[in-house]
Amino acid sequence: MRISSKLFINTSITVIFISIIGGIGFYYINNVVNISLLLTKLETKPILKINDLENTAWERWLILIEHSNISDYEIMLELEDKIIKLDKQIEIKLAEINNIYSKAEAIKHIKTLNSFKVNWVQFQQVAEQILLLSQNFTKKDALDLIVKDGKTTYKKAIYNLRELIIQHSNNIATLNNHVSQIRWDATNLIIILIGLLILSSIIFGSFIIKQILKQMGGEPSEITNIIRQIAAGNLNIKSNNATGIYANIQTMVHDLKKVIADIIKVSQGLTSDEQNVIPTAKYQGDFIKIKQALTKAAVELSNITAQKNAQNWIKNGQAELNEIIKGEQNITSLTKNIIDFLCEYAEAQIGLFYILQNDMEQPYLQVISGYAYIASDNRSNSCLIGEGMVGQAALKKETIYFQQTVAECPNIIRSGLSNIVPRHILLLPCLYENSIKAVLEIGFARKPSDIKRDFLELVLLDIGIVVNTSNSRSQMQRLLQQSQQQSEELQSQQEELQAQQEELRQSNEILEERTKDLEQQKAEIQDKNDALEISKIKMEKAQAAISLKAKELEMANKYKSEFLANMSHELRTPLNSLLILSQLLAKNNNNNLDAKQVEYAKTINSAGNDLLTLINDILDLSKVEAGKVEIQWEEVSLIDLLSSIEQKFTPIANEKGIQFYLNIADDIPKTLVTDGQRIKQIINNLLSNAFKFTSEGDVKILIQRPTKIPTDIKELKPTISISVIDSGIGISEDKQQTIFEAFQQADGSTSRSYGGTGLGLSISRQLAHLLGGELTVTSEKNKGSVFTLYLPSKSDLPSKSALKTISLSSEPSLLTEEYQSPKDILQIDDRDNLSASDVTILIVEDDRKFSNIILELAKDKGFKCLLAEDGLTGLKLAEEYKPDAIILDIGLPKLDGLSLMRKLKDESSTRHIPVYFMSAIDQSINAKKMGAIGYLIKPISMEKLIEVFKKIEIFINKIVKTVLIVADDELNKHEIMDLVADKDLKIEVSVTAEDACKKLLAMTYDCVILDMDLEQGHGSKLLEKMQQETGQPCKIPIIAYANRNLTTEEEALLVHCSNKIPIKSVLSPESLVDETSLFLHQIEADLPSNKRKMLYMVHDKKAVLKNKKVLLVDDDERNIFALATILENHEVEVICGMNGKEGLELLKQHDDIAIILMDIMMPEMDGYEAIQKIRTQKKYEKLPIIALTAKAMKDDKIKCIEAGANDYLAKPVDTDKLLSLIRVWLS
């Protein structure tokens, strides 16, 4: 047999085996392609259809919700048309899916789809009910049905669709496993066939190998090596430039390797949902069909995955946004949360949220929130509708997209590593019921994708709804407040109208009666006219005599007043030196007096004070006799009155070992219309005498209805009696009337054991007459006395409705029970069980009933309480316990509220404590100037008290305080900011008065610092505008700062504005730091060292007086010596003058005088004239002058101030008060 035949046979066998291997490979590859086509047709295509159906159902659900939320009838009709169209689309899509499931293998899918149809029909039935409710405008019922049945049936139907998707996903996984098994079987079979090919080649080729080698002329080892590797399953064969069989084998292996690689790649992509898995190899022959099938499956899979990811991304964004915007939020927080989320989710670099404002004549868009946005003075944060690109987006109600170059872009977003320019801008209008509500401006460094734009446009409706809801909520709250206020006003007006109608009816009845009387009197009058004519002549003569007597009486009163004033001056002048020098000796600062000498000095000082009291009583008596005492009618609480009296006299009773009782009958009214100050003065005088003349036994106060009354009081029923009963020495019957005369004594002997009654009883009886009552006495010698004050409980006085009342709760009945002792306070408050973590409030109030109400309410709010009933005790508790807040009354015994406030603010350890005033008198402006956080005028309702504690709690928990600085000069602005800057302080700046007013109306500041040089010296314009406000701005404390002397006009304006606005003027950086820390309640220990040093300079009492030069002008050498000694002890240089003329000469010689103490009554030139001459000199317009006078009449202070004095002190001078005044005016 020829070699060619042998080779032909051998080649034929090899070709046969190779064909078999190729056929088997093609068979398995064809199976893979068929499976891929099946995957596309039966699994992938239904998933797309189901996703589309779910999206349509979701849109149907959203439109149903929207229909239930709106009231516009036209939009409701449009939504109903959309619902009909969507229902038809759902039916069509269900039919398409059903057609895909027509084969027998889709029975499970058809069953799940039928479940969806059943559940969807249930949902449509509920939806029809919801739609019917919404069409009838019962929106709340429609929404309730949506939340209950609608949401449940919708979720059941959607669950069926998602179950279908899961089934298809499981089928895809199964087919993928099948493909992997086919690949594995093909590989094993090919390996076996290749093994058989090798075996047959060896058998058939062994007998011709020699001939073949001879015929081929070369070594076929490389062919053998390739076949061996193919048999081992290794297809990674290196190619060379072989020809013939060798080359064909290499081509076959190469093509087979590409086919297997692409099959693996597509199969893995199908299992892992990868995108863009496309065969890349070049095929020939039938392999091209394999490539086409694989490419089609990969492309469809990539599209499905991309759509699914995009839809999931949008839905997740909507869900997260819904979580962010749900709940009640104010508009600022809401918009900030929305813009932050959208920019972060869409990967934007900058964002602005414009909100529509309708509070002006023309609506405009205002920036309310931003993301990565840096505000600038060069750019406006608002625009009108149609103005700019933002305004155009709002006008057209359409999304606007535009690009800008780097040079055009005003914003650069800076981070630590890069600068980004947002060149691509999206303007997105937010609508509600086709009305613009807001505009979003979002900037991207790169062009945003369509998915991001679709997402942003899709959420605009939700944002429009939530913004409209927030605005509606705010408007509803405002309208509710207005409605409540109008309702209260209407009710008050109705009550007034009813009262007026009743008064008119009564007036008509009286008028009718008087008309009848007038007709009868007309005839009588005619008869009397003749008699009157005769008596007229007599009366004219008598009138002339009376006028003469009146003039004589007027002159007598004038001489008496002048005598009393001069007598007061002559007594006070030596008394001034006596008191000052005796006080100095009693203090014994140099320790050069023994104990007995100190006691002598104290005795002298005490006697001097007794003499001063006597002088004041003489003046009081003269006022009463001259009829110059004004009675202040008011409604007085008897319980409060007795409480204050008991508090004053209990220590005296304890000291003398006398029992002290206060009893009130149960039929006595709780309040009395009288002058509270005068009645207290009468009872104090009676009790002072009772304790004075009683050495053992008891003293009682008894209030009851009298069984008999003096003849001066006509009616018994409306009268009450206040009796002071003692078991003292008693008064003989013949002396019982003389004791009511001035300086009379019951015992006039030289061996008497007790003094006289002074002027007290005489003044008390005359005050009782002014009050419409009487004062009587009944007594027996050595058996005690009973002084009884009779007062009318009802009279022709102002009606109770016209008087102030202080009533917070029902008062306890008081039936012959003793009052609560002051020592019981220790058992009421919490001073014995305080801890470091407790929030403590100090209550300083002398009205025990009212203080108990405040204390109970404070404890209900979680506060621990300290209680004080006088100013000195309150000061001591504040310094010892350092409470977190203080509630303070003004009219306090021992130390009034304003003086206590002044002492608290002078101490660095207590000046930061917030103080809230509650008083019956209006001193709100002065209190707020001193740093009070609030002021309430009695009567006070329980609602207002609750608001007080809320404000105190907010103030205590408030860490960061806010200050508004109004200044346009850069140097002044930075100087002020450097002076007040602190870590817990937020500073805002306005450069114009108009801008400052807007900010003050928009938000609440803790303090305002006004540069008086604002707008070229017209900073006072802001004060004028604020004075016209009636709301919150006029309550904010203002510090008017000028590093210069103020002009006369500016000072006049500050004085005028201070009547309404709490305003302080400061002329130095140290004073600015002091006043700022006062209003912001900053703890001095927490301030920087430079600020603490400034505060020390301001508050150091010794430093204020040290080395200052004082001009003392007085004609009494004793006064000069006493006052100069006091001042020199405080390192003050004193220059003395004996009269006004000498004082003017000394003032010319000494230009560095810091303050003048000017006596009034002096020879040659009195104090009035001297002060006026000083004020005429321009350089002394601001020089502080304190007037000193021994005159103590009512008009003396007014005359001193009108003459030009800054302040006034009456002699004898209280040295502590004098030093305090000097410090005030020097600082």
**422 and 501 both lie in a single domain:** no
Residues 6 or more apart from 536 whose CB is under 8 A from it? none
Amino acid at 341: F
**Is 976 among the domain residues?**
yes
**940 and 1007 both lie in a single domain:** no
**Is 284 among the domain residues?**
no
Q: Which domain holds residue 567?
A: 472-609
**530 and 596 both lie in a single domain:** yes
> At what angle are helices 1089-1099 and 1069-1079 packed, to 10 degrees?
100
- Please, what are the averages of pLDDT over each run of 10 residues along the chain (1227 residues)? 63 75 72 65 76 87 86 84 88 83 67 85 87 84 85 86 83 77 76 77 66 50 69 65 58 71 69 62 67 73 77 87 84 90 90 85 87 76 88 90 76 58 88 90 89 88 87 82 83 82 81 78 74 74 75 68 62 66 77 82 77 70 65 81 83 87 87 84 88 88 84 64 90 75 49 52 83 86 88 55 32 34 59 86 87 86 90 92 92 86 84 88 80 82 84 83 87 84 85 85 86 75 72 73 74 73 76 79 70 63 77 87 84 90 91 91 89 90 86 68 84 78 76
Q: Look at residue 927 in the predicted model and tell me its pLDDT.
A: 84
**Is 303 among the domain residues?**
no
Q: Look at residue 1029 in the predicted model and tell me its pLDDT.
A: 65
Structural domain ending residue among the three candidates 899, 930, 956: 956
Q: How many domains is the chain built from?
A: 7
Structural domain ending residue among the three candidates 956, 991, 1015: 956
Q: Which residue has the tokens 């969807």?
A: 120
Cβ atoms of residues 339 and 438 within 8 Å: no
Looking at the DSSP assignment, which residues form a beta bridge with residue 383?
A: 365
**127 and 267 both lie in a single domain:** yes
**928 and 974 both lie in a single domain:** no
Task: Kindly report the CATH number assigned to the domain that includes residue 720.
Answer: 3.30.565.10
**Is 300 among the domain residues?**
no
**Two structure tokens written together for 753:** 């054991």
**440 and 523 both lie in a single domain:** no
> Measuring CA to CA, which residue among 593, 682, 669 is closest to residue 635?
669
Q: Look at residue 841 in the predicted model and tell me its pLDDT.
A: 94
**Is 192 among the domain residues?**
yes
**667 and 789 both lie in a single domain:** yes
**Two structure tokens written together for 1098:** 């301001």
276: left (phi over 0), alpha (psi -120 to 50) or beta: left
CA–CA separation, 186 and 183 (whole Å): 5
**Element containing residue 300 per DSSP (H, E):** helix 287-325
**Is 288 among the domain residues?**
no
Q: Look at residue 1194 in the predicted model and tell me its pLDDT.
A: 54
Work out the angle at residue 390's Cα, subtended by the Cα atoms of residues 389 and 395, and round it to the nearest 5 degrees. Answer: 95
Question: Please, is 536 exposed, middle or buried when counting C-beta atoms within 10 Å of its C-beta (0-12, 13-18, 19+)?
Answer: exposed
Looking at the DSSP assignment, which residues form a beta bridge with residue 1189?
A: 1210
**Is 1014 among the domain residues?**
yes
CA–CA separation, 1127 and 1216 (whole Å): 11
> Measuring CA to CA, which residue among 785, 757, 756 is closest to residue 698?
785
**1217 and 1083 both lie in a single domain:** no
Q: Which residue has the tokens 């749900």?
A: 326
**Using DSSP, how many helices (H) and how many strands (E) does the chain show?**
37, 30
Q: Look at residue 799 in the predicted model and tell me its pLDDT.
A: 41
Q: Look at residue 819 in the predicted model and tell me its pLDDT.
A: 38
**Is 951 among the domain residues?**
yes
CA–CA separation, 1187 and 1171 (whole Å): 9
**391 and 243 both lie in a single domain:** no
CA–CA separation, 242 and 496 (whole Å): 122
Task: Kindly report the CATH number assigned to the domain that includes residue 833.
Answer: 3.40.50.2300
What is the DSSP code string of 938-956?
Answer: SS--HHHHHHHHHHHHHHH
Structural domain ending residue among the three candidates 272, 297, 321: 272
**254 and 336 both lie in a single domain:** no
**167 and 267 both lie in a single domain:** yes
**Two structure tokens written together for 1104:** 């204020």
**Two structure tokens written together for 106:** 């889709």
**Two structure tokens written together for 864:** 């621990």
CA–CA separation, 135 and 770 (whole Å): 78
Q: What is the pTM of this model?
A: 0.34
Beta pairing class for 364-371 and 350-357 = antiparallel
CA–CA separation, 124 and 480 (whole Å): 40
Q: Look at residue 489 in the predicted model and tell me its pLDDT.
A: 83
**452 and 597 both lie in a single domain:** no
